[in-house]
Amino acid sequence: MKMTELSLIWKDKLENVDRLRMNAPVYYAVDFEIKKELELPVYGYITLKGSEANYRVKITEIKKYEPMPGIIKKTTKKLQTLLKIEEVQDIAAIPLSEFRKEDGTYLKRVTKFSYGMIEEEKEIKIKKFREFTPEEKELDENVRKKYGIALPFSVIEKLVKVKEELELNKKEWDKVIDKVVEKYKKRRVDPYEAVGIVAAQSIGEPGTQMTLRTFHYAGVAEMNVTLGLPRLIEIVDARSQPSTPTMEIYLKEGIREDEEKVKEVAKKIESTTIIDVADVITSVADMSLTIVPDSKKMEGRGVKIEDIVDSLSKLKTYKLTVELSEDRIKVRLPEASYKKLYLLGESIKTLTLRGIKGISRAIVRKSRDSSEWVIYTQGSNLGDVLDLEEVDGKRTRTNNIIEIAEVLGIEAARNAIIEEAINTLEQQGLNVDVRHIMLVADTMTYNGVVEAIGRHGIAGEKESVLARAAFEITSKHLLTAGVLGEEDHLRGVAENIIVGQPVTLGTGAVTLIYKGKKR
Amino acid sequence: MGKFNVLEHELVPEHYLVSEDEEEEILKQLGVKKEQLPKIKKSDAVLRVLERKYGHIPVGSLIKIVRKSPTAGRIVVYRVVVRD
Spans of all domains in chain B: 6-82
- For A196-318, strand residue ranges (E) read 246-249, 272-273, 278-283, 288-293
Tell me which residue of B48, B10, B44, B53 sits closest to A128, measured CA to CA: B10
Say which of A124, A125, A434 has its CB closest to residue B71: A434
Determine the Cα–Cα distance for residues B13 and A351; give it in Å rounded to an integer: 39
Q: Read off the pLDDT of residues A132-161 as tens digits, 9 standing for 90 and up.
A: 888 888 888 888 888 888 888 889 888 888
For residue A369, what are the CA distances in angstroms to A331, A365, A372, A376, A423?
Answer: 50, 11, 8, 15, 17
Task: Give the residue-averaged pLDDT of A370-384.
Answer: 87
**Summary mean pLDDT of chain A:** 82
pLDDT, tens digit, for every residue of A10-49?
A: 888 888 888 888 887 888 888 888 777 777 778 888 888 7
Residue A92 resides in a domain: yes
Cα distance from N-terminal residue to C-terminal residue, chain B = 21
Per-residue model confidence (pLDDT) at position A418: 94
A200 and A170 in one domain? Answer: no
DSSP letter at A351? -
- Closest by Cβ to A448, choosing from B1, B16, B39: B39
This prediction has a pTM of 0.74
A424–chain B Cβ distance below 8 A for any pair = no
Query: Mind telling me how many Å the CA of A410 is from chain B's nearest CA?
Result: 7
Is the per-residue pLDDT at A242 higher than 90? no
Chain A environment of B46 (Cβ under 8 Å): 408-412
State how far the Cα of B69 lies from the Cα of A429, in Å rounded to an integer.
22
Q: Residue A417: which pLDDT band, with cuts at 50, 70 and 90?
A: very high
Q: Across the strands, what pairs with B75?
A: B67
What's the pLDDT at B1?
A: 40
Residue A285's pLDDT band, with cuts at 50, 70 and 90, is confident
pLDDT tens, chain B, 84 aa long: 446 788 888 899 999 999 888 999 999 988 999 989 999 998 898 988 888 777 778 888 999 999 988 888 889 999 999 987
Answer whether residue A188 shows pLDDT above 60.
Answer: yes
Cα–Cα dist A213/A211, whole Å: 6
Report which residue type is found at A348: I
A residues 94..133 contacting B (CB < 8 A): 94-95, 98, 121, 124-129
pLDDT at A71: 82
Which residues of A are less than 8 Å from B35 in CB distance? Answer: none
Whole-angstrom distance, CA of residue A311 vs CA of residue A350: 11
Residue A301: CB atoms within 10 A of its CB come to 17
User: Which residue range is the domain that position A474 belongs to?
Assistant: 462-509
The CA distance from A471 to A196, in Å, is 15
Residue A199 inside a domain? The answer is yes
Distance CA A428, CA A273 (A): 37
SS3 A459: helix
**A384-396 pLDDT, tens digit each:** 888 888 888 888 9
Q: Which of A422, A441, A458 is the last residue of a domain?
A: A458
Q: What is the pLDDT of residue A116?
A: 76
Q: What is the pLDDT of residues A194-218, one digit of tens each?
A: 898 899 999 988 888 876 665 555 5
Q: Which amino acid is at A293?
A: P
- Asked whether residue A109 falls in the same domain as residue A153, the answer is no
Task: Find out whether B15 and B50 touch, Cβ atoms under 8 Å.
Answer: yes
Give CA–CA dist A114/A60, Å, rounded. Answer: 18
Q: Quick one: fold of B6-82?
A: Eukaryotic RPB6 RNA polymerase subunit (3.90.940)
A72 and A113 belong to one structural domain? yes
B51 touches chain A (CB under 8 A): yes
Yes or no: say if A16 and A72 are a contact pair by the CB < 8 Å rule. Answer: yes
The pLDDT, as a whole number, for residue A124 is 63
- On whether both A430 and A493 belong to a single domain, the answer is no
Same domain, A484 and A439: no
pLDDT at residue A217 in the model: 55
Neighbours of A241 (CB within 10 A): 12
Residues of A in contact with B7 (CB under 8 A): 124-126
Inform me whether the pLDDT recorded for A172 exceeds 90. Answer: no
A1 pLDDT band, cuts 50/70/90, is: very low
- Length, in residues, of chain B: 84
pLDDT, position A122? 45
Our CA-based measurement puts residue A72 at a distance from the nearest CA of chain B, in whole angstroms, of 24
Chain A residues whose CB is inside 8 A of the B15 CB are 126, 411
Same domain, yes or no: A163 and A116 = no
Q: Which amino acid is at A309?
A: V
pLDDT tops 70 at residue A120:
no
Q: What percent of chain A has pLDDT over 90?
A: 12
CA of B16: how far to CAs of A125, A132, A174, B25, B62, in Å? 11, 17, 35, 16, 9
Query: What is the domain-level CATH number for residue A12?
Result: 2.30.130
Task: Calculate what percentage of chain A has a pLDDT beyond 70.
Answer: 93
Identify the closest residue of chain B to A420 by CA–CA distance.
Answer: B11
Distances (CA, A) of A279 to A284, A294, A313, A341, A345: 16, 8, 18, 15, 10
* A477 shares its domain with A424: no
A348 pLDDT band, cuts 50/70/90, is confident
Q: What does the DSSP assignment read for A83-123? A: EEEEEEEEEEEEEGGGSB-TTSPBP---SSEEEEEEE-GGG
Give the C-alpha separation, A9 to A95, whole Å.
12
